[in-house]
Amino acid sequence: DVESNINISNNSRVAGIALSQGNTYNETYTTESHTWDNNISVKDSTVTSGSNYILDSNTYGKTGHFGNSDEPSDYAGPGDVAMSFTASGSDYAMKNNVFLSNSTLMGDVAFTSTWNSNFDPNGHDSNGDGVK
């Protein structure tokens, strides 16, 4: 993931969203205070937990981290993840914005983050409002 803008609308049903960030190096960002912004907009739709299996893997049956069964949308309680955000030990921060409008989120939201000491130790004004 570098930056994503995901729009889900018109009575859609999505089983699981996962965004992750690896170590992205770009010479343009030499201050190490850049943020990668992800935006997910869900309007008049549903996001549910996903399947326990990675459906597009080369080895059928490889266990994934969504849901608790073979079927998507099996939400039965804690541990059924509908949205997962994972930021590794990159020099850049990952900011995730999720907007829900007249929609249903059926599953947990999981965050995993590893802060890198090279980010901006004095804070960063990511939206230009003067607040760090």
Q: What is the pLDDT of residues 9-32, one digit of tens each?
A: 999 888 888 887 766 565 555 455
Q: Of 49-53, 83-87, 101-105, give the range with the top mean pLDDT.
A: 101-105
Residues 6+ apart with CB under 8 A from 25: 91
Which tokens is 112 given? 């995993």
**Contact predicate 49/70, CB 8 Å:** no
Which H or E run includes 48? Answer: strand 46-48
The label of the residue with tokens 């996962």 reads 18
The Cα 1–Cα 96 span in angstroms is 11
| pLDDT tens, position by position, 48-66 | 887 555 555 555 555 554 5
R_g over Cα of the chain = 17
